[in-house]
Amino acid sequence: MEIQGKVANYHAMKKRLGIVADVKLADMANGEGVRTTVFVSGCLFNCYNCFNQKLKAFNYGKDNADSIKKGQHVDAEFPRYYDQELEDKVIKSLKPNYISGITLLGGEPFMNTNITVPLCERIRKEYGSSKTIWSWTGYEWEELMQMIQLDFPLSKQQNKLVHLIDVLVDGRYVDSIRQEDLKNNPQGINFRGSTNQRIIKVPQSLAQHQIIERADLYEDEKIVARDRDFKKIKR
Protein backbone atom coordinates (compact mmCIF):
# COMPACT_ATOMS: atom_id res chain seq x y z
CA MET A 1 0.00 0.00 0.00
CA GLU A 2 2.82 2.41 0.84
CA ILE A 3 4.44 2.13 -2.61
CA GLN A 4 1.09 2.34 -4.43
CA GLY A 5 0.02 5.24 -2.24
CA LYS A 6 3.18 7.21 -2.90
CA VAL A 7 2.86 6.62 -6.65
CA ALA A 8 -0.77 7.80 -6.64
CA ASN A 9 0.11 10.83 -4.54
CA TYR A 10 3.05 11.69 -6.79
CA HIS A 11 0.92 11.60 -9.93
CA ALA A 12 -1.87 13.60 -8.30
CA MET A 13 0.50 16.35 -7.17
CA LYS A 14 2.18 16.44 -10.57
CA LYS A 15 -1.08 16.68 -12.50
CA ARG A 16 -3.27 18.94 -10.39
CA LEU A 17 -3.67 22.54 -11.49
CA GLY A 18 -5.85 24.02 -8.77
CA ILE A 19 -8.95 24.28 -10.93
CA VAL A 20 -12.42 24.60 -9.41
CA ALA A 21 -14.78 23.10 -11.96
CA ASP A 22 -17.95 24.58 -10.48
CA VAL A 23 -19.58 25.98 -7.37
CA LYS A 24 -23.25 25.36 -6.66
CA LEU A 25 -25.00 27.68 -4.25
CA ALA A 26 -28.03 26.66 -2.18
CA ASP A 27 -27.47 23.01 -3.07
CA MET A 28 -29.82 20.55 -1.37
CA ALA A 29 -28.68 17.35 -3.10
CA ASN A 30 -25.19 16.80 -1.70
CA GLY A 31 -25.39 16.54 2.06
CA GLU A 32 -27.82 17.52 4.78
CA GLY A 33 -29.54 20.88 4.63
CA VAL A 34 -28.84 23.74 2.24
CA ARG A 35 -25.19 23.86 1.25
CA THR A 36 -22.52 25.37 -0.95
CA THR A 37 -20.93 22.65 -3.07
CA VAL A 38 -17.46 22.98 -4.57
CA PHE A 39 -16.40 20.70 -7.44
CA VAL A 40 -12.67 20.28 -8.11
CA SER A 41 -11.06 19.10 -11.36
CA GLY A 42 -9.04 15.90 -11.33
CA CYS A 43 -9.31 12.33 -10.09
CA LEU A 44 -7.16 9.23 -10.58
CA PHE A 45 -9.94 6.77 -9.70
CA ASN A 46 -11.38 5.45 -12.91
CA CYS A 47 -14.87 4.47 -11.77
CA TYR A 48 -16.97 3.10 -14.61
CA ASN A 49 -19.92 5.38 -15.43
CA CYS A 50 -18.74 8.00 -12.93
CA PHE A 51 -21.38 10.67 -12.31
CA ASN A 52 -18.85 13.39 -13.20
CA GLN A 53 -16.81 11.80 -15.98
CA LYS A 54 -15.45 15.04 -17.37
CA LEU A 55 -14.07 16.07 -13.97
CA LYS A 56 -11.63 13.15 -13.97
CA ALA A 57 -9.22 15.32 -15.96
CA PHE A 58 -7.01 17.55 -13.84
CA ASN A 59 -6.93 20.03 -16.72
CA TYR A 60 -10.71 20.13 -17.12
CA GLY A 61 -11.63 23.78 -17.70
CA LYS A 62 -8.05 24.98 -18.15
CA ASP A 63 -8.80 27.17 -21.18
CA ASN A 64 -11.63 28.97 -19.39
CA ALA A 65 -9.54 29.26 -16.22
CA ASP A 66 -6.61 30.72 -18.17
CA SER A 67 -8.87 33.28 -19.82
CA ILE A 68 -10.30 34.41 -16.48
CA LYS A 69 -6.80 34.66 -15.02
CA LYS A 70 -5.73 36.88 -17.94
CA GLY A 71 -8.76 39.12 -17.44
CA GLN A 72 -10.32 38.15 -20.75
CA HIS A 73 -14.07 38.07 -21.29
CA VAL A 74 -15.62 34.63 -20.90
CA ASP A 75 -19.22 33.50 -20.97
CA ALA A 76 -18.85 31.06 -18.07
CA GLU A 77 -17.79 31.89 -14.51
CA PHE A 78 -16.48 28.34 -14.11
CA PRO A 79 -14.18 26.47 -14.40
CA ARG A 80 -11.58 28.80 -12.89
CA TYR A 81 -8.45 28.67 -10.79
CA TYR A 82 -8.80 28.71 -7.04
CA ASP A 83 -7.74 32.13 -5.80
CA GLN A 84 -8.49 34.64 -3.06
CA GLU A 85 -11.46 36.10 -4.92
CA LEU A 86 -13.10 32.71 -5.30
CA GLU A 87 -12.32 31.74 -1.72
CA ASP A 88 -13.93 34.94 -0.46
CA LYS A 89 -17.03 34.25 -2.54
CA VAL A 90 -17.40 30.74 -1.13
CA ILE A 91 -16.88 31.97 2.43
CA LYS A 92 -19.48 34.70 1.96
CA SER A 93 -22.00 32.18 0.57
CA LEU A 94 -21.91 30.32 3.90
CA LYS A 95 -22.86 33.33 6.00
CA PRO A 96 -26.69 33.01 6.03
CA ASN A 97 -28.02 31.03 8.99
CA TYR A 98 -29.98 28.71 6.71
CA ILE A 99 -26.78 27.48 5.03
CA SER A 100 -25.72 24.29 6.82
CA GLY A 101 -22.21 24.13 5.44
CA ILE A 102 -20.04 23.16 2.51
CA THR A 103 -19.65 20.01 0.45
CA LEU A 104 -16.49 18.99 -1.43
CA LEU A 105 -16.93 17.01 -4.62
CA GLY A 106 -15.14 16.46 -7.90
CA GLY A 107 -13.03 15.14 -9.13
CA GLU A 108 -11.29 13.97 -5.99
CA PRO A 109 -11.11 16.41 -3.05
CA PHE A 110 -8.30 14.42 -1.41
CA MET A 111 -6.12 14.75 -4.53
CA ASN A 112 -6.80 18.49 -4.78
CA THR A 113 -5.76 19.49 -1.30
CA ASN A 114 -4.15 22.66 -2.69
CA ILE A 115 -7.77 23.82 -2.93
CA THR A 116 -9.64 21.92 -0.25
CA VAL A 117 -7.26 22.38 2.69
CA PRO A 118 -6.93 26.20 2.59
CA LEU A 119 -10.66 26.52 1.94
CA CYS A 120 -11.61 24.31 4.90
CA GLU A 121 -9.07 26.01 7.16
CA ARG A 122 -10.65 29.36 6.31
CA ILE A 123 -14.13 27.98 7.02
CA ARG A 124 -13.05 26.78 10.46
CA LYS A 125 -11.39 30.13 11.14
CA GLU A 126 -14.46 32.13 10.09
CA TYR A 127 -17.28 29.87 11.29
CA GLY A 128 -15.80 27.38 13.73
CA SER A 129 -18.03 24.32 14.03
CA SER A 130 -21.23 26.19 13.15
CA LYS A 131 -20.94 25.04 9.52
CA THR A 132 -20.50 21.37 8.66
CA ILE A 133 -17.99 20.20 6.10
CA TRP A 134 -18.93 17.16 4.01
CA SER A 135 -16.61 15.52 1.49
CA TRP A 136 -16.85 12.68 -0.98
CA THR A 137 -13.80 10.56 -1.77
CA GLY A 138 -12.93 7.54 -3.87
CA TYR A 139 -10.63 6.34 -1.11
CA GLU A 140 -12.06 3.86 1.33
CA TRP A 141 -11.63 4.95 4.94
CA GLU A 142 -9.12 2.19 5.60
CA GLU A 143 -7.04 3.29 2.61
CA LEU A 144 -7.18 6.91 3.67
CA MET A 145 -6.00 6.05 7.18
CA GLN A 146 -2.98 4.34 5.62
CA MET A 147 -2.36 7.17 3.17
CA ILE A 148 -2.17 9.84 5.86
CA GLN A 149 0.58 7.90 7.62
CA LEU A 150 2.92 8.12 4.63
CA ASP A 151 5.88 10.49 4.71
CA PHE A 152 4.82 12.35 1.57
CA PRO A 153 3.68 15.95 1.03
CA LEU A 154 0.21 15.09 -0.27
CA SER A 155 -0.32 12.58 2.55
CA LYS A 156 0.37 15.33 5.08
CA GLN A 157 -2.18 17.55 3.36
CA GLN A 158 -4.69 14.70 3.29
CA ASN A 159 -4.17 14.29 7.02
CA LYS A 160 -4.98 17.97 7.53
CA LEU A 161 -8.10 17.67 5.41
CA VAL A 162 -9.51 14.61 7.13
CA HIS A 163 -9.16 16.39 10.48
CA LEU A 164 -11.08 19.41 9.16
CA ILE A 165 -14.19 17.65 7.87
CA ASP A 166 -17.27 16.38 9.69
CA VAL A 167 -18.73 13.81 7.32
CA LEU A 168 -17.02 11.66 4.70
CA VAL A 169 -18.73 9.60 2.01
CA ASP A 170 -16.06 7.04 1.19
CA GLY A 171 -15.29 4.50 -1.50
CA ARG A 172 -15.33 4.06 -5.26
CA TYR A 173 -18.55 4.36 -7.17
CA VAL A 174 -19.43 0.87 -8.42
CA ASP A 175 -21.92 0.96 -11.28
CA SER A 176 -22.84 -2.73 -11.12
CA ILE A 177 -23.78 -2.32 -7.46
CA ARG A 178 -25.83 0.77 -8.27
CA GLN A 179 -27.91 -1.30 -10.69
CA GLU A 180 -28.74 -3.64 -7.80
CA ASP A 181 -29.41 -0.65 -5.57
CA LEU A 182 -31.98 0.73 -7.99
CA LYS A 183 -33.83 -2.58 -7.96
CA ASN A 184 -33.69 -2.93 -4.19
CA ASN A 185 -34.34 0.74 -3.38
CA PRO A 186 -36.68 2.22 -6.02
CA GLN A 187 -36.99 5.33 -3.85
CA GLY A 188 -33.26 5.93 -4.29
CA ILE A 189 -30.37 5.92 -1.82
CA ASN A 190 -29.19 8.78 0.36
CA PHE A 191 -26.06 10.73 -0.55
CA ARG A 192 -24.19 7.84 -2.22
CA GLY A 193 -23.76 6.67 -5.77
CA SER A 194 -23.71 3.00 -4.75
CA THR A 195 -24.33 1.35 -1.40
CA ASN A 196 -20.81 0.01 -0.93
CA GLN A 197 -20.04 3.62 0.01
CA ARG A 198 -20.41 4.68 3.63
CA ILE A 199 -21.39 7.93 5.31
CA ILE A 200 -18.84 8.33 8.08
CA LYS A 201 -18.74 10.55 11.15
CA VAL A 202 -15.15 11.69 10.86
CA PRO A 203 -14.29 13.20 14.29
CA GLN A 204 -15.87 10.27 16.13
CA SER A 205 -14.17 7.71 13.87
CA LEU A 206 -10.78 9.32 14.36
CA ALA A 207 -11.24 9.51 18.12
CA GLN A 208 -12.41 5.91 18.50
CA HIS A 209 -10.08 4.43 15.86
CA GLN A 210 -12.98 2.70 14.17
CA ILE A 211 -15.57 3.61 11.58
CA ILE A 212 -18.64 5.28 13.03
CA GLU A 213 -21.32 5.56 10.38
CA ARG A 214 -24.32 7.82 9.99
CA ALA A 215 -26.45 4.70 9.84
CA ASP A 216 -29.57 6.78 10.46
CA LEU A 217 -29.26 8.06 6.90
CA TYR A 218 -29.73 4.62 5.36
CA GLU A 219 -31.35 2.45 8.02
CA ASP A 220 -34.36 1.80 5.77
CA GLU A 221 -32.30 0.93 2.69
CA LYS A 222 -31.33 -2.49 1.42
CA ILE A 223 -27.54 -2.47 1.22
CA VAL A 224 -25.42 -4.95 -0.72
CA ALA A 225 -23.18 -7.24 1.33
CA ARG A 226 -20.24 -5.23 2.64
CA ASP A 227 -17.97 -8.27 2.79
CA ARG A 228 -17.51 -8.33 -0.99
CA ASP A 229 -14.14 -7.40 -2.41
CA PHE A 230 -15.36 -4.33 -4.24
CA LYS A 231 -11.97 -3.72 -5.84
CA LYS A 232 -12.46 -6.86 -7.96
CA ILE A 233 -15.86 -5.79 -9.25
CA LYS A 234 -15.89 -4.33 -12.74
CA ARG A 235 -16.50 -0.62 -12.56
Alpha carbon distance 18, 30 (integer Å): 22
Q: How confident is the model at residue 120 (pLDDT cuts 50, 70, 90)?
A: very high
The answer to whether residue 208 is domain-embedded is: no
CA distances, 193 to each of 47, 51, 84, 181, 189 (Å): 11, 8, 32, 9, 8
Per residue in 122-136, pLDDT (tens digit) is 999 999 999 999 999
> What is the reported pTM?
0.92
The answer to whether residue 135 is domain-embedded is: yes
Say which amino acid occupies 215. A
The answer to whether residue 167 is domain-embedded is: yes
Say which CATH number the domain at 24 has.
Answer: 3.20.20.70
The answer to whether residue 22 is domain-embedded is: yes
Q: How confident is the model at residue 93 (pLDDT cuts 50, 70, 90)?
A: very high
Per residue in 218-234, pLDDT (tens digit) is 988 988 755 444 444 33
The answer to whether residue 214 is domain-embedded is: no
Of the chain, the percentage scoring pLDDT greater than 70 comes to 93
The answer to whether residue 232 is domain-embedded is: no
The answer to whether residue 205 is domain-embedded is: no
Average pLDDT, the chain: 92
Residue 207: partners with Cβ closer than 8 Å, 6 or more residues away = none
Please give the residue range of the domain that contains residue 161.
Answer: 2-173
Alpha carbon distance 137, 35 (integer Å): 18
Q: What's the domain count of the chain?
A: 1
The answer to whether residue 213 is domain-embedded is: no
Alpha carbon distance 83, 115 (integer Å): 9
Alpha carbon distance 13, 50 (integer Å): 22
Alpha carbon distance 176, 199 (integer Å): 20
Q: Are strands 167-170 and 80-81 parallel, antiparallel or unpaired?
A: unpaired
pLDDT above 70 for 65: yes
**Residue 30 burial (CB count, 10 A):** 18
Alpha carbon distance 226, 189 (integer Å): 16
Cis peptide before 186 (omega within 30 of 0): no
Whose CA is closest to 195, among 216, 210, 213, 180?
A: 180
The pLDDT assigned to 6 comes to 66
Q: What are phi and psi of 206, to 5 degrees?
A: -65, -45
Q: What are phi and psi of 19, to 5 degrees?
A: -100, 130
Per residue in 166-214, pLDDT (tens digit) is 999 999 999 999 999 999 999 899 999 999 999 999 999 999 999 999 9
